[in-house]
Structure 1
C-alpha cells in the first residue's frame, strides 16, 4: 500500500517550523528572553499552519503522527498561556525540551501524514477528534508538570531552589488540575464513542485495542484522582500512576494507528 505524502506547501511550512523551533530552543537555553518571544511565537504559528494544511486539505489527512504533533502543540500552547499567568515560572529546561519535541512531531507528521478522513464523515467524528486531542493535550501538560514537580522535589531535598520557579505545592495543584480537566474530556470522549459508535465508525462500539487501552487509561486516572482525594496521594507515587495512565492513553490511539499505518500498512 502506498502511504499518503504531505504536499509541497506542507513540507515548506514544516521545514520553517522545525528551523524556528531549533532556533528558539537554542536562544531559550542561552537565557535570551527577548529573542525567545520573537522565535517561539513564529514557530508555534508555523506548527499550527502545518497541522491545518493536513486537516483542511483535500483530502483531509490524519493519523498517529498528526495526533502526536497536535498533542505537542497543545502542550506548548498550555505552557505558554500558563507562563503568561505565572511569569515567575522558569523555562530554561522545559521550554527548550518542548520546542525540540514539537520540532520532532511536526516533522513526523509531514513524513507520516496519516490516512484520508472520510469525506462524508459525521459531525460527531469532528467532535470526537477535538475532544480526544484536547484530552491528549491536557494530559501531556500534566506529564510536563509532574516532571517539573519531580525535579523541584529532588532540588528541595538538596536544599536548592526549585528549577521551575514555583513552590512544590503550586506545581502539584497545577498538575492535578490538568489531570482533572483531562479526565473529564476523556470521559466525554468515551461516552461519545459508546453512544454514537455507528455515526463515528460505521459500527457499534466494540472492544478493539484502542477501546481497551482507552478504558484502562480512564480507570488508572480515576484511581489516581480517587487516591488523591481519599488517600492523599502525592509526589513520586502519584506521578508514577499519572505516567502509567498517560502511557496507556498514548497506546490507545497513537499506538493502534502506528501499528495499523506503519507495521500493517492497512
Structure 2
C-alpha cells in the first residue's frame, strides 16, 4: 500500500513537471518577444508541442490511466497545434501562433488540475479506438473553428482597410475551414455509428438517450445542415461561420460539458 501511494505521488509529480514545462515553453515567445526571433519562437512552440504530447501520453498510459473533460480539451488543443505546425510548413504566412500557444498553455495546465477519472481496465479493447475517433473529430472541428475565426478577421480587415495583414488569402482560409469540417463530420459520423451499433460491446450497455447523446446528435445534424447548405446553396461567410460555431458549441457540450458537470460540479 505505501508503495502504491508513493507511486501515485511520483506519477503526479511527473505530470506536474511535464505540464509546467509545456506551459512555460508555450508562454516563452510571448514573455520574451523582444529577445526571440521568428526561428526561436517556432522552436519554442515545437518544444512546447512535444512536451504537451509527453504530458498526454503520461496521463493516458501512466500508472493509473485517467481521462475526463480537461484531458479531452488538452488532446483537442494538441491536435489543433499539430495542424498548425503542419500548416506552417505549407503556408509560412499563417499567423495564429500566440492565440494557439495561449490555448495550449491553458489546456495542458487544466488537464493536470482536473485529470479526470480512472479508465476501466475491463473495458472493451475497442474502446480506445472509439475514444480516439471522438477526440479526433473534436480536434478537426476545433481546427475548423480556428480557421473560421481567422477568416472572419480577414473579412473584417478587408472591409475596413481594403486588405488584411498578409496572412493566408481569404479563399484559402475558407477552403481549409470546410475541409476540416468535412473530415470532422466523417469522424463524428463514425463515432456516433459505433456508439449506436456497438454500444453494448464498448460500454457494456446499449445506446441511451442522455445529455451526451442528445448534444452529439444535435451537433451532427448542425454540421450536416452546414455541409448540405454549402453544397446546395453555396452558404459562406458569416452565415456559414455562425452555423459552424453553433455545431462546435453543441459538440463541446456533448462530452466536455457533461463530464465537467459530473466531475467538477457533482463530484462524481
When normalised by structure 2's length, the TM-score is 0.93
Deviation of 1:97 (Å): 0.8
1:74 — aligned with what?
Answer: 79
Determine whether 1:191 maps to 2:196: no
Deviation at 1:30, TM superposition (A): 8.0
Q: Which residue of 1 aligns with 2:4?
A: none
2:3 alignment partner in structure 1: none
Whose relative contact order is higher, 1 or 2, with alpha carbons under 8 Å and at least 6 apart? 1
Decide which of 88, 94, 98 is 2:93's aligned counterpart: 88
How far apart are residue 210 of structure 1 and its match?
Answer: 0.5
Aligned partner of 1:132 in structure 2 is: 134
| Residues 1:40 and 2:45 aligned together | yes
In terms of mean alpha carbon deviation, does 119-128 or 102-111 score higher?
119-128
Answer yes or no: is the 8 Å Cα contact 2:124–2:203 preserved in 1.
no
Divergent runs of 4+, >3 A: 25-31
1:234 to 233, 236, 250: 236
Out of 59, 63, 66, which is 1:58 matched to?
63
Gaps of 5+ in 2: 1-7
Deviations 1:208-256 (A, max 9, x none): 1100000000000000001100111100110000000000000000001
Q: 1:17-28, aligned counterparts within 5 Å?
A: 17-26=22-31
| Cα pair 1:213 1:249 within 8 Å, conserved | yes
Going from structure 1 to structure 2, the CA distance change for 1:149 and 1:164 (only over 3 Å counts) comes to farther
Deviation at 1:29, TM superposition (A): 8.7
TM alignment of 1:1-266, pairs within 5 A: 7-26=12-31, 32-89=37-94, 91=95, 94-163=96-165, 165-266=167-268
Any idea what SS the aligned residue of 1:203 has?
Answer: coil
Rounded to whole Å, the distance in 2 between the matches of 1:100 and 1:30 is 19
The separation in 2 between residues aligned to 1:227 and 1:113, in whole angstroms, is 39
Distance 1:170 1:31, change over 3 A: farther
Please tell me whether the aligned partners of residues 26 and 102 of structure 2 are also in contact (alpha carbons under 8 angstroms).
Answer: yes
Equivalenced residue count is: 260
Displacement of 1:183 in angstroms is 0.2
2:106 & 2:135 partners in 1: Cα distance?
Answer: 18
2: CA distance between counterparts of 1:25 and 1:230?
Answer: 44
Conserved? CA contact 1:10–1:50, under 8 Å: yes
In 2, Cα distance between equivalents of 1:81 and 1:254 = 26
- CA drift at 1:160: 4.0
C-alpha contact 1:228 1:234 (8 A) present in aligned 2: yes
Q: Deviations over 1:182-227 (max 9, x none)?
A: 0000000000111110122210001011000000000000000011
